Chains A and B, each alone.
Chain A
């Protein structure tokens, strides 16, 4: 599907990146932890998150993420949007919670950019 479809499925509002809405996507990663995003998200994926700081955009840029979906109805601060414009990362905002957003995309064929994290990498504390 395209980012257009993602917007449609999540009833999302586009905040940055109108020109990039034809980008094709078929995988996603959901997290509120940027360390996990940096460790596990894959290029070309959609990133679903409740974080709204500029660090999300920088993380997406470093990883070549196709678009950021901000969940739970949060509106990112102006500096985040400005940075997204500058680094050309589309951002959309949805009122759905993270679980619901992920589920709705999954139902339409978007799958996780990875399925599992290797057994020896599972945090055992």
Chain B
């Protein structure tokens, strides 16, 4: 990286002082990124499960809007959804902070993906399990809670982990709706100090510092839950 920079017209060399001055701000940005990702993935995990379960409802009035919502959200870019939540909703009388709109956007968007993962996890539970639940006269609620989901969810965990990592990398989109996450901070620092090298390199390193452990975690989860425990 440094070699490439040196070859340029106005050579920039790494300045440790500048890097040190940038670090506290960047860390604050990283913390916002992490918060947005963690809240976002929580929304996605909960909502995705609700969507997947609603999709199996015997009532078409429940099923169809859910299918429509999922198709709609998946067919439009996340950025458009963020703009809608942040710029359009206020016109409709709902004013959300950038962070709230961002977390909601990430959560809704990824919920449509996690719901597909849950769906295949649920479908992989053999039909006989539902039937055994009937033979034990379990309520619908107990059938989901004690029979189906405990078998379905472990198989979905690796996919959820992958979405966590993907969401982390989508978080910079929140900079477009006034959220001071890591990349937004880096841009700000660059325009104040005119030091793109340090600002963006450090931002990239900080992303790496989080996403590599996260990827390792996912790999571990895949080993642990990826195939049947039996």
Pair from one complex: no
Residues of chain A at the chain B interface (Cβ within 8 Å): none
